[in-house]
């Protein structure tokens, strides 16, 4: 009787913790909260602005124009069959998704300390809501990308979707996993010691330049520092994204590398989740 009684506790709060714990049932219970968080993230960004959601378009477009000017017109980087502007736009769209997932997640604990310090809900909801709301933003930006894609295709450029294009959702998922994984790792490291969050700002900027965003990986093969890009999994994602999108013969793609980056994404995600679980219980004491 006694033992049976002890078994049906709804939950236990204790200092001991499992290494990895993702309570899907609980997250499902809080699904309304997830939806509201996503809505909040999207709706509030451009409240009290005149252009509103148009700002979602402006940033990637302007960046692409500048990149095209600097890297393609001045530095004369060859983008192959893909028109330089479209090349840059696709890279930036993909990179942006990874970047905002990572930065959004990495702030989880610090920027939500006020809520986390008062009430319990599954903490994982917050990074998850970031990834989903960013997915909506990605979707909007993707529409422009498609617009320009069609425009350039009708202009006679040799770009066309292939059967590989079906892999695009997989690439989006990979970017989300990298963003979440690395973001969660950073978020746990910055709760007590804030040094890393200072670093993050400019590291993200630098990281973009070694992730094959404004240039194809083929440009680097004989460069002495090329290994920096070659060992960067993100470069393979950006490059692969362009390959499946444009069927770009110049872009690097192999199933081996695809397998490796997918495995790495899962590993990072699991490590991130483990650290996140460890931190979420007591971070409020040290934040």
Partner 1 sequence: MSNIILKAEHISKQYRLGLVGTGTLVHDMNRFWHRIRGKEDPYLKVGAVNDRSAAASEDYVWALRDINFEVKEGEVLGIIGKNGAGKSTLLKLLSRVTSPTTGTIKSRGRIASLLEVGTGFHPELTGRENIYLNGAILGMTKAEITAKIDEIIAFSGCEMYIDTPTKRYSSGMTVRLGFAVAAHLEPDILVVDEVLAVGDAEFQKKAIGKMQAISSGEGRTVLFVSHNMASVSSLCSRTIVLKNGQLDFEGDTEDGISHYLKNHEGHIRSNVQRWSKANQPNDKGVFLTSGRIYGKGKSEDEPIRMDDEIILEYQLEVDDLQRDIFVNTQFLDDNGSILFATTSQFNETRSQSNENGKCVLRMTIQKNFFNQGEFSTNLVVKEHVDGKNVTLFSKTALLSFIVTPRPIELGRWMGKSKGPLRPDFDWTKEFISNE
In the bound state with partner 1, the residue whose beta carbon lies nearer, of 17 and 259, is 17
Tokens 């978020």 belong to: 187
Q: What are the phi and psi torsion angles at 143 (to 5°)?
A: -60, -40
Q: Site for partner 1 (CB under 8 A): which residue of 1, 2, 4, 10?
A: 10
Q: What is the dihedral of CA 148, 149, 152, 155, to 10 degrees?
A: -120
Comparing CA positions, the residue from 26, 93, 23, 107 lying closest to residue 61 is 93
- Contact in structure between 174 and 237 (CB atoms under 8 Å): yes
Q: Site for partner 1 (CB under 8 A): which residue of 117, 139, 147, 226?
A: 117
Chain center to CA of 158: 29
Q: Does 50 bind partner 1 (CB under 8 A)?
A: no
d(Cα 152, Cα 281) in Å, to the nearest integer? 52
Element (H, E) at 212: none
- Chain residues 240-269 in contact with partner 1, contact rule CB under 8 A: none
Q: Does 284 bind partner 1 (CB under 8 A)?
A: yes
Q: Site for partner 1 (CB under 8 A): which residue of 4, 50, 74, 114?
A: 114
Q: Does 7 bind partner 1 (CB under 8 A)?
A: no
Q: Which two tokens stand for residue 201?
A: 């700002």
Half-sphere exposure of 249 (CA within 13 A, CB side): 4
Tokens 């990308």 belong to: 145
Q: Does 116 bind partner 1 (CB under 8 A)?
A: yes
In the bound state with partner 1, the residue whose beta carbon lies nearer, of 205 and 286, is 286
In the bound state with partner 1, the residue whose beta carbon lies nearer, of 32 and 256, is 32
Q: Site for partner 1 (CB under 8 A): which residue of 2, 4, 15, 155?
A: 15
Q: Site for partner 1 (CB under 8 A): which residue of 118, 156, 202, 206?
A: 118
In the bound state with partner 1, the residue whose beta carbon lies nearer, of 260 and 281, is 281
Interface residues toward partner 1, by CB under 8 A: 6, 8-15, 17, 30, 32-33, 35-37, 40, 43-44, 47-48, 114-121, 192-193, 281-282, 284-286
């Amino acid at each position: 009787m006694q033992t049976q009684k002890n078994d049906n506790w709804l939950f236990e709060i204790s200092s001991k913790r499992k290494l990895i714990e993702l309570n899907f049932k609980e997250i499902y219970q809080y699904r309304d909260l997830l939806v509201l968080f996503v809505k909040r993230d999207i709706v509030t960004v451009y409240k009290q602005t005149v252009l509103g959601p148009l700002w979602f378009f402006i940033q990637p477009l302007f960046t692409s124009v500048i990149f095209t000017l600097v890297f393609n017109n001045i530095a004369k980087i060859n983008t192959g069959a893909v028109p330089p502007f479209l090349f840059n736009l696709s890279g930036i769209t993909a990179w942006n998704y990874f970047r905002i997932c990572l930065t959004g997640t990495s702030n989880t604990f610090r920027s939500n300390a006020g809520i986390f310090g008062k009430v319990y809900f599954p903490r994982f909801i917050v990074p998850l809501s970031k990834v989903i709301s960013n997915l909506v933003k990605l979707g909007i930006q993707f529409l422009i990308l498609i617009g320009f894609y069609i425009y350039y295709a009708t202009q006679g450029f040799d770009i066309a979707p292939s059967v590989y294009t079906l892999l695009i959702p997989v690439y989006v998922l990979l970017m989300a996993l990298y963003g979440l994984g690395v973001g969660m790792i950073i978020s746990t490291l910055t709760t007590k010691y804030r040094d890393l969050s200072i670093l993050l700002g400019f590291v993200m900027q630098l990281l973009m330049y070694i992730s094959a965003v404004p240039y194809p990986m083929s440009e680097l093969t004989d460069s002495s520092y090329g290994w920096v890009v070659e060992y960067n999994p993100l470069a393979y994602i950006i490059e692969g994204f362009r390959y499946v999108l444009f069927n770009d013969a110049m872009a690097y793609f192999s199933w081996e590398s695809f397998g490796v980056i997918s495995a790495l994404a899962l590993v990072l995600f699991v490590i991130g989740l483990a650290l996140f679980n460890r931190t979420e219980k007591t971070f409020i004491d040290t934040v």
